Structure 1
Amino acid sequence: MPVTDTSERLRSTMMLVLLACLPGVLTLLWQHGWGTLFNLILCAGSTLASEALLLKLQQRPVLAALNDGSALVSATLLAVALPAYAPWWVPVVASASAIALGKHLYGGVGKNPFNPAMLGYAVALLTFPQHMTQWPGAQLLDAATSLQHVFGLSGNAQADAWSQATILDGLRNNRSLTIDELFSSHPGFGHLGGRGSEWVNLAFLLGGLLLLQRKVFSWHAPAGLLASLFIVSLLCWNGAGSDSNGSPLLHLFSGSTMLAAFFIATEPVSGPRSPQARLLFGLGMGILIYLIRTWGSYPDGTAFAVLLMNLCVPTLERWADRRNAVAP
């Protein structure tokens, strides 16, 4: 009976997380069109197929494990993080890697030391670097053209007609334009951050606040991430000159900031258990995201930030335990 209750609680939590992802997913569909839908279908199908195959090879119950919803949550987080219109093999490889390397390599649900979705994303980023930098611009593609791009029916040379560098990439590589000139000349810039990504971040913020209100997770990791990203970007903000690293608001509402804060940093298995450790976990993630965005080789850095902080979880937990032990 306790096992059944635990399974039901896990399934209910996963369904609530999927519901909270819905505003962000719908906003991405509005912004990027069919490519996001194809990512969701490919990631969900590949994740469930990989999960079923690995469970079968381990002679473990398949339907009960698939029914808990954890695989669908990983698939959704991976799908919204990947570039829309990426070739079909990118989400397939990323999803299979997330399940095999991020989950079943360590024993399955509840035993993974790394965030499965971000591990799959990192594998795709390292394996297919060119495809992972082709983000859609403002032009929406119709269903037929989208299918051609996703399934390789049109040459890669056509990607220049619909893709563009993200604003974080444009900001990092800017050498001569002021921030005002960059905002006016780059089609990807909006009012505060990236055009479209502002709305996407607001949508994931809304979903995250729902999960926070329902007590799916505590405030510590999201608050730590957003606070540290805001503070370090404020301290390193050098105005509107050509060497500017971007304002705090730009960093908060660009890239995958709110997705990272409320859906990645709060993953319960690979993250810390104690509130103090969660706060430090979020603080470290925010600092690493800024460092990678500004001086690293990748424009966003969420995946590598969370994977590096996953390595620090045992140390953070030991520190929190010692602190609680000496507290009066």
Structure 2
Amino acid sequence: MEQLFPIIQNGVAKKKDTLPRKPFIEANSMEVSLHHLEQACIIPVFAKDNERTISHQEFIDIAMLATSDALGGIYVEHPEIRVSHEIKGRTPDAIHKSAKELYDHEKTIYYERMAFIARIPSIEEEIGGNPITLTIGGVRSYNLENLYHKKSLERFKFFIGFQNLVCCNLCISTDGLKEEMRASTVKELYGKIFELVKNFQVDRLLGQMYDLTQYNLTEHQFAQLIGRCRLYQHLPKEQKRAIPALEFNDGQFNTIVKDYYQDQSFCRNESGDINLWNLYNLFTQANKSSYIDTFLDRNLNALQLSTGVGQALKNEESGYRWFLS
């Protein structure tokens, strides 16, 4: 693959400043820099043996480096990082001070949950008139680790997929997402990310997304779909088990319905129809209100639902036919 940009050095890519983009996730999170994680945050340890965890910044660095290596030294943009659930502490010499008396150097913090993305601008396509660019990212949640015991395999989520540059929505497939990647060292983590990126089938995901542009839902079918989605959460357990999983909540369905009428990029057309590509983007847009720990799972679920509805429209065998019946 042709190298169009400088290779990453020490896990950090440098690039000219670009215009600010919409965040890829919004709910209960804030944006921080890689420098902030490196310089201002402590690294949690496992209490029983005082072995340190793999830090958020190490995860980001290793993910970017492994991706660059797996794709032949390709340029990866500087990461966009969102964090939540700040854990505060203080240094021992400030033990007797009240919170308002603390100096900055006496405060300690780390973030329980972190999500990041990094774009690969030299691999860009267009789907439904929207430019999309290859993107990697990951999620780390310390709440999934038992920090009160000895060091064990640590959990990470990593993906490679595309980002819609019109709205900054992410497009993630089953093949490009590892929902539980376990590693005890950065070397192990590097190897697993390298393997996933190396084996990722770009054309397969592009084909799935292009296929979504070929099928439309009428306004009646859209209303039927949303109504069934709302019913899903209240189905008896046995009936729910027979239907593909749906991860979205009622608040997100409200957003989808509102955007069906009002969104500038993905709303219905003049006749009330909406193609499945636009429907998919309404779901991924609503997913921005998800918390960091459920964000990637729901993003994948959006593609599964959209492609499943497409199969139902083509009269193929699909468990998603229930959503339109």
More helix by share: 1
TM-score normalised to the size of structure 1? 0.29
More strand by share: 2
TM-score normalised to the size of structure 2? 0.29
